[in-house]
Amino acid sequence: MHQLERVTNLLALLLSTRRHLTFDEIRNELKGQYPENLVAARAAFERDKAILRDEGIPISSEVQGGDKAGITGYRIDRSAYELGDLQLTGHEAAALRIAVSALRMGQSWGEEALWKVDMDSGSTARPQPVVQASLPVDQKLPTLHDAMSRLRVVSFTYNGRPRELEPFGLLARSGWWYLVGNDRSVDAMRTFRVDRISTEVVLLEGETFERPVDFDVRTSFPADLKELPDSIDVGGDIAKVRIDATDVNTVLGQYGPDSLVERHSDGSATFVIPCANVQAFEHWLLGFLDRAEVLEPTKLRQHVVEWLTALVRGVQA
């Protein structure tokens, strides 16, 4: 017998039963489907259960009493198994289909979810949205999202250190996913980049938390990494930068018209840009190569010159 057939039969049986069934009862109901050898049969049953649980099927187990005292019984509560009817209108279902098509996440999860929530759709045509976006995806995200939504404490390793975190929020910003929450190991708010979490995320059994009422993940840490202070003192937190005409629109798009200080006759312009984090600032600045130049503060300008001079000397040495 094919394993898929046996697993499907087991699922049908556990969904149909009104009481918990022991392994012996299951084996008896599914006559001839498990090996005769008891050890082999038990191993096959455990594999089947693991498949069902990995698929998110909620198998309830309960230790029996009476003449089956101490023996575990199994069943599946139909109400916990089934997705209810979402009562989506045609427009709402169509909007979801377009949304899933417009967002590339490198996974089939969205498509599989649509099959379930949009059972009424008879259309096989995939909508072709003219605007598409890619979202970075990480295998840890669904678990983090689930823990955050259900107010469950999680544990993982980050920068080589084990953490216990109350996950307050998840934010996708500038191509990365960030996790913000209260790190219980230091009892302080911390921000983690999800792709840098180096181990599996585990939900801690029975550990829950309360999210601060006024928490908003958008304002929980600076939108611009250049605003995060570092240990390099360059005499100010704002830099004046002259940008060539070719890149003026790029900077306007990044920082808005309020950052523009002066337009010059050759089309170039001077902007004010946050530089509290010198490393992040220089990373941004050097992306323009010789089409951008720091004017002020003088110490920052000198820092850029020293950085480049070290590169010239380092390679020549």
Q: Which of residues 298-317 bind other proteins (CB under 8 A)?
A: 301, 304-305, 307-316
Told to check if 227 binds other proteins by CB under 8 A, we report no
Dihedral (C-alpha) 183, 187, 189, 191: value to the nearest 10 degrees? -30
How many CA atoms, within 13 angstroms, populate the side-chain half-sphere of residue 282? 15
Q: Which 25-44 residues touch other proteins, going by CB under 8 A?
A: 29, 31
Does the footprint of other proteins cover residue 273 (CB under 8 A)?
no
Environment class of 255 (CB within 10 Å of its CB; exposed 0-12, middle 13-18, buried 19+): middle
First to last CA, the chain: 71
* Shorter beta-carbon distance to other proteins: residue 68 or 145: 145
| Least distance to other proteins, CB of residue 124, Å | 4
Question: What is the total count of residues that contact other proteins (CB under 8 A)?
Answer: 111
Which among 36-44, 93-101, 153-161, 183-191 is the span making contact with other proteins, rule CB under 8 A? 93-101
Give min distance, CB of 206 to other proteins, in A. 19
Alpha-carbon distance 211 to 150, whole Å?
11
102 contact partners, CB below 8 Å, separation of at least 6: 129, 131, 132, 133
Task: Give the gyration radius of the chain's Cα atoms.
Answer: 29
- Map the footprint of other proteins across residues 137-196, applying CB under 8 A: 141-143, 145-146, 148-150, 168-175
Give the nearest distance from C-beta 40 to other proteins in angstroms: 18
Check if the beta carbon of residue 225 is closer than 8 Å to that of residue 193. Answer: no
Q: Does 88 sit near other proteins (CB under 8 A)?
A: yes
Show contacts with other proteins in window 99-138 (CB under 8 A).
99-100, 102-103, 105, 107, 109-117, 119-120, 122, 124, 128-136
Interaction between residue 217 and other proteins (CB under 8 A): yes
